A and B are shown apart, each in its own frame.
Chain A
């Protein structure tokens, strides 16, 4: 039987560095030495990502899909896979998966009778933006799902955050998916050894391997004053349960702008533009929304600002 075509899936939120990483991968012997095809698919970036990919000796396909529906994208992918197979265009295909697509959809497509005989998903790589992942994950379902079904996780843009944040982020990602090895990188550089070591688990199975986590978002907009000591006690107690926190808080010892990224907290002068003295949003991690809300609520003093 003819050897199946290896499929590498590159997933991750738009801005997580997939395109940069793809350009790096194209230079590595693992991909540069074989017959390669690229499939590029990104929401609202038709023709743009394609131009950002370095030219080379490979077939390049862009999903020019007006419709943004995942189902319709499947139809285009199917056509492209069929073209690659029928015309024997490649031994390896890299698919840059749209940030708004579910990698499991693409895998499901490959299980169609005709394709399953010819294609083999080698691995699903998920790119995580060290700066923004903790912001976006609570709002975008696929940012979490992408990590859960990944065979390898690449934390990108690590040059822009502290070591503490990288370590914390790794811990959180490991809770979402304890099976996939995690590497940190800048500018999308990944070594062949890491790629070789990856074992693919079908997305439908992978999604069930770790229990789901609650990521509630709570917001406060009030003129009440927050007791500083109570607030500090809460964020210490919830050190493992806060992903992000950001906003102005009117403490009993002063008015401050507070930002937390995982366990790292910074404070500056309050920023303009809010109606209320205390206006902040917190994203929780593995905690119920009611508890997160109540714990912060308990920090407020009874009196309001004059």
Chain B
């Protein structure tokens, strides 16, 4: 039975079996980009945030999604100055505890302060509108919040004023618990404590300055019936083992940490884990197939237990939506995943054919690229469609299936630049992609190609009429008739009068057989390139 996204996420968090891998795109200001809003417009408006996240839900088919990916909300309320940007979350640019504010004067925020009011209302409405999706309430982790409040002096004070740093961590923990309450009250299912700056410290400092506070936060979430995730990013591999001891339900990491390492550490504690699609090189700058390859690699490394597929961190504002949709496709569609996987495995090492001249044989060649028509329904329907109409062209059309489970077929597919399965190519041109054409469309497409070829043949044909002759009246009559025929047809034909007996003999004609006419036809087949053997073979077959 198909699970809802929320059921899937909850089961994965509990390391139980799911019907497929759960998928959580960490969409923050990118949701604003989907509707053309700047990050500032997006994060300051309840209405825009709701519409943006709804748009992301519609486009990316997630099992879970964050309400707001902005780690400056608490800091802003607590007095940090904020610099806004159009295509990034805002930035903290001042640290009140480094500028004279006393820690004792800071108060744990209330639900109606600053943008906390906006995001909790967004959470409430998104939860109501999407009961089947797990909503993540993201809060700034205590160590990162501490850095926002104190600046990098925190590292000096760990030595100079150890007790002060612990007092600060206690305050930040209280803020985290308050924020967790606001999000849980609004209906969120998961509290994700995002603490990227912990990657700056080692396990000993983590245990001293992070662990006790995290344990309290996660315990609070558990008591309230929520699930918890610990997000970290950067080079934090050294801390994964101690993160597992904070008793959260899930750990989420980015591409800086090997997923197999996190898998092994988490599963030792029967703990769920997530990550680590590459944000910049793949999701932002790559193409759909790159995103799919990366997702498949993550899924395969992670295995079937306790894994949540997610980007390593907040998706960049300008990420092409098609890349995230491509990930959603292979998550939701096992068949598409198989196709992408096959391409992914082979593509990097394969040779490509030069098929620039492909399809110049007299016959029209219809290539069907499939996974395997015997094992895949759409492939079978596509092959059947072609098989049925081929007899109507009575020997003019030649078709063949290329099953990409075979390496040579995969090479052929890549050489034709085919990206989707199944696809029909007519004379090397991608014509029908992942769609079984109705009979009349397929016939029309092939007929168009036949007409094109006919036109090309006329245009490309070059002929010479050789008149092999003596010097007699018959020859003159032949020459006159040929000239008249060429003129009346308006044909592009050269006329050569040949009287040298040796040349005449080279045509296999005896002088006694003259006057004779030998026509020579030329066909241009290739210009400025070296055609592949497979292509030349096609030409030769038509001689």
Question: Which A residues fall within an 8 A CB radius of B?
Answer: 13-15, 43-48, 64-72, 74-76, 78, 99-100, 102, 105, 109, 112, 132, 135-136, 138-143, 216-217, 219, 244, 246, 281, 283, 289
Contact = CB atoms under 8 A, between A and B. Distances in A.
Contact of A283 (B70, B94, B159): B159
Contacts of B503: none
Contacts of A46: 83, 91, 93
A41 to B, nearest CB: 11
**Range for the number of chain B residues in contact with chain A:** 35 or more
Interface stretch (B198-206, B263-271, B433-441): B198-206
Interface in B122-145: 144
Q: Which of B70, B84, B158, B234 has the most CB of A within 10 A?
A: B234
Given A71-B312, A72-B279, A139-B205, A66 B159 contact: no
B160 A135 contact: yes
B352 interface: no
A141 B201 contact: yes
A64 B83 contact: yes
A219 B166 CA distance: 14
B467 interface: no
A71 B233 contact: yes
Nearest to A247: B162
Contacts of B255: 71
A138 B159 contact: yes
A140 B88 contact: no
Contact of A136 (B82, B84, B156, B238): B156
B280 A68 contact: no
A124 B158 CA distance: 28
B399 interface: no
Nearest to A282: B159
Interface in B244-295: 254-256, 279-281, 284-285
B85 A139 contact: no
Contacts of A44: 91-95, 147-148, 151-152
Contacts of B233: 69-71
Given A47-B93, A68-B197, 4 more contacts: A67-B89, A69-B234, A69-B254, A281-B162
Contact of A100 (B84, B88, B197): B197
A65 B280 CA distance: 15
A289 B204 contact: yes
Contacts of B39: 66
Given A66-B88, A69-B234, A142-B200, A13 B205 contact: no
B155 interface: yes
Nearest to A137: B155
Given A68-B71, A140-B155, A100 B313 contact: no
B367 interface: no
Contacts of B316: 72, 75
B204 A48 contact: no
A-B pairs, top 10 by smallest CB distance, nearest first, are A66-B89, A66-B91, A66-B90, A14-B152, A139-B158, A140-B155, A135-B159, A46-B93, A46-B91, A70-B234
B180 interface: no
11 contacts: A13-B155, A15-B152, A44-B152, A67-B89, A68-B197, A69-B314, A76-B88, A99-B152, A112-B281, A139-B205, A246-B159
Interface string B93-112: 11100000000000000000
B88 A217 contact: no
B235 interface: yes
Given A13-B152, A72-B316, A139-B159, A64 B234 contact: no
A167 B203 CA distance: 30
Contacts of A68: 71, 92, 144, 147, 196-197
Nearest to B91: A66
A236 to B, nearest CB: 23
Contacts of B235: 70, 102, 141
A71 B91 contact: no
Contacts of A74: 280
A66 B280 contact: no
A140 B313 contact: no
B467 to A, nearest CB: 59
Nearest to B75: A44
B360 interface: no
Nearest to A42: B152
Interface string B310-322: 0011101000000
B479 interface: no
B72 interface: yes
Nearest to A45: B93
